[in-house]
Chain A
C-alpha cells in the first residue's frame, strides 16, 4: 500500500458529491492504471466507482453495480474498465479462480474494492483511495487519495482544487 503522508484529503457531503469526485479523478487516469478503493461497507466505494466509470466514458452508469457475487465486472468506456470486488475472498489463492492475473495484460483501467487480500498480487497501484465514514451524519465521508507518483498526485490535486467545490 502507498504512504498517505502527501495525500489529498477531502470531505464529501453526499453520495452525489462522491460520484462527482470519481468523475473528476477519471480525467487523471490512463489505460493500464489501477485504483484501489479501501473502506468498510457503506463507506462509498461503489459510489466512487460509478463516478470514475462515468468519467471514463461508461454510458450506462446504472450498469455499474457491486460485483460482490461475480467478483469482476467489465464495462466499455473510452477504455475498458474492470471493476473488481474481493469482499468475499478470504484466501488469496482464490484469486487464481477469477483470472485476476489476466487483467494486467490489457490496456484497461482497473478499479479494485476490498484489495487488502490481494496486496502482494497487484503489480502496480496508481492511486489508493481510503474512504472513511465517521458516522457523524448519514452522508458525510472522509476521502483520502494517495498516489505512487507524486507528480500525478500534484496534477490531481490541482484539478480537485479547481473543480471540486464544497
Chain B
C-alpha cells in the first residue's frame, strides 16, 4: 500500500512516498532557507507563497524518483496542525483535492505526532512505549507514548530549543539557520570555557526554559565582545544539550520507560546525538534517533504515520480545518525532590 505524504507546516515543502508505512520510496524537501536567511528567520508570507510554487513540482519529483503514478497511490496523508496557518492550508488543500479527485482516503495528522513517529525510521517498532524528545525551531516537548496515546509531560515555558539556537546565532552574527552553524563552529570551541546556566534543571518538573540561557549568552557577549565565537557556541550548545538530555532521561526513569526517541530538527545536532548515545548506554535505555532527513520537517513521517492511522480505521473528513495550535493538553509531571 502506497501513501503520499504532504508536509507544509512551516518553511519546508515536503512530499514523500512510503510503502507500507516504513519503506521510503521518496522523501523530497524543497527547502526555503535561502529565502529566509536574509531575514534571520521564517517569514510567513514568503513561506506560504513558496509552498504554493514548490508544491506541484515537488510532488512530480517524488513520483519520478519512485517511478510511481498518481493513480497508484492508495492514501493521501497530510499535516493539518500545528504550524503557520497560511502554510498548513496550502498542503491541506492540495491533499483534499488529490484525495477527492482520485477517490482515495484522506488522513490528516498532527505534526508533533508525526515527528514522534520518525523514530520508526531508526528501527523502533511502531507502537513501542517510549519517551520522545521533540526539539525543533518551533517546539520543545517531552512526550510519553503508551497504548497509542501520546501524552505531553514536559515542554518549554518560553523559547523552543531551535529558536534559542537561531537567536544566539543571529546575536553572534553567524547567520541563519542557527542550529547547523553553531553545531559546526562549536566543534572548534571549548564547551567548558564559559559556564552558562542549565535552566530548569533544579526544578521538580520536566519543563524547559531557554530564554534565560539566551539572556546569559547576550550578557556575556556584551561584556566580552571579543570572546571567541567557537567557545561561546560550544558553551551555549553544551548548556542546551545538558538540559535536553537530563530532562529526557529523568522522564524515562520516572515513568519507568526503557525506550527513548529523539526527533525534530535539533536532533540533527551531532553533539546532542553523541550525548544521548552515551547517556542511554550508561543507563541501559534503548535509544532511537532517526537519520537527519527524518529529524527536520519531512513528509515521510507524515506518510508513515498516516499509513498506520489508516490501518487503524481513521478517515479524515474533507472539511477538516488547518489549526495553528498543537491541540495537546499538557499533563505535567511533578517530581519529588529526590528525583531532581
Contact = CB atoms under 8 A, between A and B. Distances in A.
A104 interface: no
Contacts of B218: 41-42
A47 B330 CA distance: 21
B214 A42 contact: yes
User: Of residues B10, B207, B218, B330, which shows the largest number of chain A Cβ atoms within 10 Å of its Cβ?
Assistant: B218
A106 interface: no
Interface residues of B, number: 39
> Which 9 residue pairs are nearest across A and B when measured between Cβ atoms?
A94-B45, A69-B138, A42-B215, A62-B157, A88-B41, A97-B45, A135-B222, A90-B39, A42-B218
Given A65-B158, A88-B43, A97-B48, A71 B222 contact: no
A71 B163 CA distance: 13
Contacts of A62: 155, 157, 207, 330, 332
B216 interface: yes
B85 to A, nearest CB: 8
A98 interface: yes
A99 B159 CA distance: 23
B41 A87 contact: yes
Interface of A: 15, 41-42, 46-47, 60-66, 68-72, 87-91, 93-94, 96-99, 135, 138
B219 A138 contact: yes
Contacts of A71: 44, 84
B202 to A, nearest CB: 16
A70 B138 contact: yes
A70 B155 contact: no
Contacts of B61: none
7 contacts: A15-B212, A42-B218, A64-B157, A70-B324, A71-B44, A89-B44, A138-B219
A69 B10 contact: yes
Given A69-B84, A88-B39, A99-B85, 10 more contacts: A42-B219, A62-B207, A62-B332, A68-B159, A69-B160, A71-B44, A71-B84, A90-B39, A94-B46, A138-B219
A65 B45 contact: no
B154 to A, nearest CB: 10
B43 A94 contact: yes
B335 to A, nearest CB: 15
Interface string B129-148: 00000000110000000000
A96 B39 CA distance: 18
B211 A46 contact: yes
Contacts of A97: 44-45, 48, 86
B155 A69 contact: no
A65 to B, nearest CB: 5
B321 to A, nearest CB: 14
Nearest to B44: A97
B48 A65 contact: no
Interface in B158-172: 158-160, 163, 167, 171
A15 B215 CA distance: 11
Given A69-B138, A69-B160, A135 B219 contact: yes
Nearest to A96: B45
Contacts of A46: 158, 211
B82 interface: yes
Contact of A138 (B41, B137, B215): B215
B69 interface: no
Given A46-B158, A90-B43, A98-B44, A66 B211 contact: yes
